[in-house]
Amino acid sequence: MTVTEQEITDYVARVRAALADLPPAQRDELTEDLADHLTEVAAEAEGTLLERLGEPETYAAELRAAAGAAPGGARNLDQRVASAMARARGRLRAMDTRLGPPLGYATASDFLRLLRPAWWVLRGYLAAMLVTVITTGGEFGLLPRFGGELLAGLIMLIGFVLGSIWIGRRSAQLTRWPRSAVQVASAVLVVFAFAALIQAEDRMRYGDYGYDQTSVDSQYDRVRDVFVYDSEGRLVENARLFDQNGNPIRLGYPDCSEDVYGKPSLRAYPYCPEQAPFVPRAPGAPLQPASPTSTPDPSGTPDPTSTPDPTSTPDPSGTPGPAGTPTPTRTR
Amino acid sequence: MDTTQLLKGVLDMAVLAVLREEDGYGYDILRRLREAGLEEVGDASVYGTLRRLFAAGLLTTYVVPSESGPHRKYYSLNAAGRDQLTRSGKLWRSFATTMDSLLDDRGMAA
């Protein structure tokens, strides 16, 4: 037998589609044993149903005429749509069976059905990410955030994933409107996912990952200046930094200093004391700005024992602490 | 003029005639019609005709379970169907006689 069950089902579907304008009861009556008939026709001889019976639409017209039902005549839009749908469905089904074996399943849909729970989880994640984009105004990474809050985002993620699974497991019992709503929402999420993927792809290609820039080479690349404070909270001026081998540690660049062309290795920190992030505060005293009057010695005296100018740090006690004196023990 | 066009007018009668001897299901009736010489009868025409005759109250149906395949819907002639067959049979004979003599007069009959 060369005719498959599928071919018969499709043929019946197209005949029924061509009779779509008849009252349902009459249509059912006309086509109720069509499948059985086709099975017998198929068993009788070789060749496809189309070869032996002609197009389903022709068959339907003949059936309609012989049964004395209202002539189809000019088919209205509904019928044409129904017939086109039936044809498309038939083709999809044929593809379904053809694609199945390469995947190791009877039909491709058997395989896809196994992936449904995975889709439910992904759908929950996508919903959480959509909320992330909406609440944070377009900014998003890989994890959901609710208005920038990661914890709230993760709770939302768990909730959405569980909800999506719940809906997925009950989709068969849903009535028409809720089911349509779920389908529309899923479609929106798929579109959103593609849009987000494209955006992420663009970011990757231009090296911008959407995070704050962090240098891969050194975390100090963004350091512009260094401010050293002693135990009393006073800014230490003309501080010099050395590593364990006595090599000067060079960080930042003196963008506020006139002496841009001096020997950078001998320059003392901070370059720009007036930009100090903290100002010393005495007990009971009001917050004081870092003294703008004092400037570091521009000559960069290569004397590691030099003490900072005591006037540079407003100290109510009047005694500059010795802690501000960097004293490297090893020099080379 | 081919048989298809002639059939249109007499298919009802042909179907009723086939069912007079023995009840039958759709495909069986179709086969019997073809075996009787109506090769050009279409599947859909026979099915449609059966439906129409049933709707007109000339046939009754019953379902016979089949061991090998699907359950089959059998059609059988009822009293109204037999009456109808008798009437149209008479009509056909007189019509055929008229046609025969018409053709004979013109010397065209085989």
Average pLDDT over chain A, rounded to an integer: 75
CA dist A79 and A83 (Å) reads 6
Q: How far is CA A246 from CA A56, A94, A312, A329, B14, in A?
A: 93, 78, 27, 8, 117
Per-residue pLDDT band at A320 (split at 50, 70, 90): very low
pLDDT of residue A300: 45
CA dist A9 and A17 (Å) reads 12
Higher-confidence residue of A95 and B106: namely A95
CA dist A259 and A272 (Å) reads 12
Domain ranges for chain A, please list them.
Answer: 5-112, 115-205, 223-332
CA dist A299 and B97 (Å) reads 137
Q: Is 3.40.50.2300 the CATH number for B3-104?
A: no
Pairing of strands B24-25, B72-77: antiparallel
What whole-number percentage of chain A has pLDDT above 70?
Answer: 70
Q: Are the C-beta atoms of residues A62 and B44 closer than 8 Å to each other?
A: yes
Q: In this predicted model, what pLDDT tens digit does every residue of A178-200 receive, in sequence order? A: 888 888 999 999 998 898 888 88
Q: In this predicted model, what pLDDT tens digit does every residue of A224-268 receive, in sequence order? A: 788 888 888 888 888 888 888 888 777 777 676 555 555 555 667
Among the partner-chain residues A30, A33, A66, the one whose CB lies closest to the CB of B45 is A66
Per-residue pLDDT band at A293 (split at 50, 70, 90): very low
Residues in chain B where the model's pLDDT stays below 70: 1-2, 69-70, 106-110
CA-nearest of B21, B8, B20, B77 to B49 is B8
Contact between chains at B43 and A41 (C-beta distance less than 8 A)? yes
User: ipTM of this model?
Assistant: 0.79
Higher-confidence residue of A217 and A34: namely A34
A51 at interface of B, judged by CB pairs closer than 8 A: no
Contact between chains at A67 and B48 (C-beta distance less than 8 A)? yes
User: Facing residues of B72 across strands?
Assistant: B64
User: Facing residues of B62 across strands?
Assistant: B74
Domain ranges for chain B, please list them.
Answer: 3-104
CA dist A171 and A174 (Å) reads 5
What whole-number percentage of chain A has pLDDT above 90?
Answer: 7
pLDDT of residue A318: 45
The number of C-beta contacts closer than 8 angstroms across A and B is 67
Over range A295-319, report the average pLDDT: 48
The three-class DSSP label of residue A49 is helix
Identify the burial level of B2 via C-beta atoms within 10 angstroms of its C-beta, where 0-12 means exposed, 13-18 middle and 19 or more buried: exposed
Q: In this predicted model, what pLDDT tens digit does every residue of A139-170 receive, in sequence order? A: 677 888 887 778 888 898 999 999 999 988 88
Among the partner-chain residues A33, A36, A65, the one whose CB lies closest to the CB of B48 is A65
Contact between chains at B27 and A37 (C-beta distance less than 8 A)? yes
Over range A298-306, report the average pLDDT: 47
Per-residue pLDDT band at A76 (split at 50, 70, 90): low
Higher-confidence residue of A137 and A107: namely A107
- HSE-up of residue A41 (Cα within 13 Å, Cβ side): 25
